[in-house]
């Protein structure tokens, strides 16, 4: 995707503008903007087994948060399963990020998982979209790390 996504004004719950949730969203956006881990679709984290060892071979944008938040998991049938979920966010993480639901729904029927799985947006594009959506919805920036701010400026430059 080369055009910048239009920010959503309803990605987050109305009561999500708290310091704790803003800090969580900032950590998530930081990781999305700076990670070089492979991206996958249809799973929070896809696994591959080689010689009895399981390793992650890709994450979706929602799975990135589960890893960053150190959500407990089990490795089952080629997927990392976080709190009994392998495709969408567990309820505890929907709360932690202040999202409306487990799919990251916004607008009529758009969702973060669809940006990842269907539209094939990169992690950087999704991170920029989440950052811009927080700003559009709450009128305040989230506090990114220095590395995140640098990656944000670069991503904005690439999509202008």
Q: In this structure, what DSSP letter does residue 99 have? A: B
Within-domain flag for 90: yes
Rg, C-alpha atoms of the chain: 15
> Has residue 2 been placed in a domain?
no
39 is a domain residue: yes
- On whether residue 78 sits in a domain, the answer given is yes
- Which tokens hold the place of 115? 């940006």
Number of domains composing the chain: 1
37 within domain boundaries: yes
| Contact indicator for 128, 149 with CB cutoff of 8 Å | no
User: How do residues 96-111 score in pLDDT, each as one tens digit?
Assistant: 999 999 999 999 989 9
Question: Is residue 108 included in any domain, yes or no?
Answer: yes
Tens of each residue's pLDDT in the chain, 160 residues: 557 799 999 999 999 999 999 999 999 999 999 999 999 999 999 999 888 888 999 999 999 999 999 999 999 999 999 999 999 999 999 999 999 999 999 999 899 999 999 999 999 999 999 999 999 999 999 999 999 999 999 988 887 6
Given a contact cutoff of 8 angstroms between Cβ atoms, the answer to whether 128 and 152 are in contact is yes
Instruction: Quickly tell me which residue has 């932690």 as its tokens.
Output: 96
Q: Write out the two tokens for 87.
A: 């495709």
CB-CB contact of 142 with 134 (8 Å): yes
Identify the domain containing residue 34 by its residue range: 14-158
Structural domain includes residue 97: yes
């Amino acid at each position: 995707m080369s055009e910048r996504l239009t920010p959503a004004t309803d990605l987050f719950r109305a009561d999500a503008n708290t310091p704790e949730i803003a800090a969580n969203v900032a950590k998530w956006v930081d990781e999305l903007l700076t990670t070089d881990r492979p991206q996958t679709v249809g799973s929070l984290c896809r696994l591959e087994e080689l010689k009895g060892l399981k390793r992650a071979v890709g994450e979706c944008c929602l799975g990135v948060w589960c890893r960053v938040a150190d959500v407990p998991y089990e490795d089952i049938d080629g997927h990392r399963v976080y709190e009994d979920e392998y495709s969408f966010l567990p309820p505890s993480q929907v709360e932690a990020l202040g999202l409306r639901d487990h799919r990251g729904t916004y607008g009529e029927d758009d969702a973060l998982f669809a940006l990842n799985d269907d539209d094939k947006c990169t992690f950087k594009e999704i991170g920029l979209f989440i950052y811009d959506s927080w700003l559009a919805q709450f009128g305040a920036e989230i506090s990114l790390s220095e590395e995140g701010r640098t990656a944000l400026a670069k991503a904005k430059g690439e999509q202008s």
